Amino acid sequence: MFTRPALRLARPLALLPLLLGLFACGGGGGSSAAPAFTLHFTPGQLTAQFFHNQTYLQNTYANPVTAGVTGTIDPLPSGTLYVLIVVDAPVFVGDPAVSVLGGNAFSLSLTPDTNLAAGTYTGNLTIQLFQDATATNPYSVTGGTLPYTLTVDPELTVTATIDGVPAGVVFSSSNTAVTSINGSTIYWNPAQPAAAVDLTPGQVLELQASVPVTWYSPDQFYPYGYLWQAPTVTATTLTQTIAAPPSGTTGITGNAYIAVPTAGGQFGAGLIVDIHT
């Protein structure tokens, strides 16, 4: 059952707005006395939780996002069975993956669209069974409706203002991302610190994160941490007055501000400040 694609249709939304894929599987017959099939699923719905724009190894180490269930079909088909999966909203991408588990059991997995805006998406997909690859001779199906719930959290983004004026700087877990921090060593992905923002002593830098974070600021990093006062922070904001460089010098480069989501799952995001007198 569900061993290979039988017919892969292009998905022009103007023609087939709800079509995800059409697959062949061992089963079902084409006789005039077509059987009726009953489907059961465990769990009883498709679920997935991820953050907007979540991409494996780009802004997270988490595995690629999928929503899957296992199911059974009764009676066991005896010929060729064709499966059409129809979704009530464009919240999945690519083709469904259907695999045989033995006997009358199978698994179904779909890939959520990680470009969905933050929010909760609920609805239903419908599994239709056909005797033919053109999907013109349907079988009667009981239990073919499967609800889904996709929970999309915000991606970490951080905006900056300088002396109360928006700086036009936005950094995120997928742009100027930070994979880890070890002491004063910051690991950037891909191995390149963010572009620096030039500031002067006494200016006030304010950072606003889209999700709760743990802040790391220049006062915590060697070797110039002693020059900085601790910033004022909340779970989503940081405010700090820019420090003056050591006496006899004209500036300090490479001062890092890092925001790491407290909920985990996402990489952190970083901003570099260069100070010039």
CATH of domain 157-276: 2.60.40
DSSP label at 35? Answer: P
What is the CATH architecture of 4-153? Sandwich (2.60)
Domain ranges for the chain, please list them: 4-153, 157-276
pTM: 0.83
What pLDDT score was predicted for residue 34? 67
Structure tokens at 78: 């005896």
What pLDDT score was predicted for residue 254? 94
pLDDT digits (tens, 9 = 90+) for 186-223: 999 988 888 899 999 999 999 999 999 999 999 999 99
pLDDT digits (tens, 9 = 90+) for 73-119: 998 887 777 888 888 899 999 888 888 788 888 899 999 999 999 99
What pLDDT score was predicted for residue 31? 45
Q: How far is residue 5 from each of residues 22, 80, 112, 214, 256, measured CA to CA in Å?
A: 7, 12, 20, 47, 51
* Whether 215 contacts 230, CB under 8 Å: no
Q: Do domains 4-153 and 157-276 have the same CATH topology?
A: yes
What confidence category does residue 5 fall into, taking pLDDT thresholds of 50, 70 and 90? Answer: very low
What pLDDT score was predicted for residue 1? 34
Give the 3-state DSSP-derived string for 213-242, with helices as H, strands as E and coil as C.
EEEECHHHCCCCHHHCCCCEECCCEEEEEC
pLDDT digits (tens, 9 = 90+) for 9-38: 223 222 222 233 344 444 334 445 567 999
Average pLDDT taken over every residue of the chain: 86
